[in-house]
Structure 1
Amino acid sequence: MLVMAACRESSMVYETVDGSKLPLLVFDPADGTPLAAGIVLFHGGGLRSGSADGLVAHCRELGSRGIFAVSAGYRLLGQGAASIDDCVADVRQAVEHFTRLAAARGLKPSCLASGGSSAGAHLALVAALTASGTTPTVPGPGVAAVVALNPAGLDLLAFSPERQRSIEQEVGIATGRAIEYSLIEFVRPGSPLMLIHHGTADEVEPIEHVRRFRDAMVQAGNECTLLEYEQAEHGFHYPGHSGHFEDVIDATARFLLDRSHAGPYGY
């Protein structure tokens, strides 16, 4: 059940590596509400559309529950980004800025998460699972967890070669480099804790790919929870779209708050 307590809303910008200034929409719990956790979210849109406004409803609800929530923009293909690499670089910068804001509010890295929807979830996962240059790495101190809403790109090599080439063209990946952005390839012990929300009828990323990614995470000794929504299609988590918004917010808030209180997720 959604909690409709107020939160304080503000906006600011962060600077990308090329000097562009991009928005950060900030949602602080109302005065007097204990601050327990933080999350920065990145919108979907196939890297060619969308804006930070797309996840305002999610951040507003999380903010009302004592969670410091930020929705961040990033350069889009054809609108400042030459390739997916520019988008990933922006996400890294936004996460760094978010962690500084969170630290100023007294939040430790173990209480922080990144995430997003669709392509935004993919970007957040790439940044969390890899170092600069897509080299696998043990996660750094920035965030401890990722919340992915119908993520894309979990197992790109599971698509046919023709579909892989099409995806490369659609999202600005150089020809033949799909493997460098296929997230299952970067699963290692010590990967961030993850919560994935996904519909069983998702037409962009088949549920089988998501289950395979979850299994790989668990087999590597990581904690990865997959919440499946029966017959839900891509984008099911938005308000009024399919009736799942409240369930997604409830589960995400529990996931973040349980960690901050040393709950069942081990933090």
Structure 2
Amino acid sequence: MTTASRESSTLYQAADGSELPLLVFEPGDGTPPRAGIVMFHGGALRQGSADTLAPHCRTLAARGILAASAGYRLLGHGAASIDDCIADVRRAIEQFARLADQRGLGASRLASGGSSAGAHLALVAAMIAPNEPAPAPKPGVAAVVALNPAGLDLRSLAPDAQRSLEQQAGIREGRLTDYSMIEFVQPGNPPTLIHHGTRDEVEPIESVRRYRDAMERSGNECTLREYEHAEHGFHYPGNSTHFDDVIADTARFLLDLITAK
């Protein structure tokens, strides 16, 4: 395990041609990274920045992982709907793959992930086809790491809650389930690690368990790490004592799973 990280910042081109930040963290001692992950921040698609997950990426880099935190257009700030956010996330993953290739990491050693809404965006990009609400023919990454993800089982919400979310996401009525991840579970989905608190007020732990069970029934690897009494956002440094455990478990998942390919 390395003891420091080397940091740099670059830009990638969003789907509308604007430029967005991509913060890059790699092992500080010059050793080649053994795996890679690009992460997307939370904030209900309306707030947040790439800086939010810098502590996570920095610590993963110190463990031998190429890690990046990417921005994306936010609703009310360049994005008209969640579709714009998803389009940017797909672009960021492509740019990260090019950077990783320059460092000797092929696609089979790369993951995506994020926190809350950002975790949902990473799952959408990995599991849903770009041009229609259908399962992706093949994953764009080798694995996904989701920190208290949202949007796993949207069909289970009450009709009023579904309509409210549709308005918030800038999509027409009846489209919410086009973004409900449990609807797109099929054999061949990428192995997934989920960190979630049992008192999460945004995505109930019961929804996460249903998603985990659906993945396993389809023959996919889906590991759920439950944190007793933890609420949404529990994984940030300073919010709780869980940050170190989340990072250590994520690093093991990436290094054990991806480097074994």
Q: Under a length normalisation based on structure 2, what TM-score does the superposition of the two structures give?
A: 0.97
SS in 1 for 2:113: strand
Q: For 1:139, give the aligned amino acid.
A: K
1:117 aligned partner: 115
Stretches of structure 2 lacking an aligned partner (at least 5 in a row) = none
Q: Deviations over 1:138-159 (max 9, x none)?
A: 324x310000000000000111
Cα drift, residue 171 of structure 1: 2.5
Q: Distance in 1 between matches of 2:192 and 2:258?
A: 14
Does the 8 Å contact 2:35/2:259 carry over to 1?
A: no
Q: What code does the residue aligned with 2:135 have?
A: P
1:1-267 matches, cutoff 5 A: 5-133=3-131, 134-140=133-139, 142-262=140-260, 267=261
Q: What is the CA distance between 1:217 and its match in structure 2?
A: 0.3
Deviation readout 1:70-107 (Å, 9 max, x if unpaired): 00000000000000000000000000000111111101
One-letter code of the match for 1:65? Answer: R
* Contact persistence 2:25–2:61 (CA under 8 A): yes
**Cα distance in 1, alignment partners of residues 160 and 16 from structure 2:** 33
Distance 1:242 1:172 in 2: 33
CA deviations on 1:181-235 (whole Å, 9 max, x unpaired) are 0000000100011000000000000000000000000000100000000010000
Once residues 171 and 240 of structure 2 are traced to their aligned partners in structure 1, the CA distance between those partners, rounded to angstroms, is 32
Give 1:66's aligned amino acid. Answer: G
Q: How many matched pairs?
A: 260
The question of whether the paired residues in 1 share the 8 Å contact of 2:32 and 2:104 is answered with no
Contact 2:2 2:27 (8 Å CA) reproduced: no
Task: Please report the TM-score for the alignment, with normalisation by the length of structure 1.
Answer: 0.95
Question: Matched residues in 2 for 1:192 and 1:34: separation?
Answer: 24
Distance 1:232 1:43 in 2: 19
Q: Is the Cα–Cα contact under 8 Å of residues 73 and 85 in structure 2 kept in the other structure? A: yes
- Moved >6 Å (runs of 4+): none
Supply the distance in 2 between the matched residues of 1:200 and 1:45 (Cα, whole angstroms). Answer: 20
- Cα root mean square deviation, aligned: 1.2
| Secondary structure of 1:12's aligned partner | strand
Percent sequence identity is 68
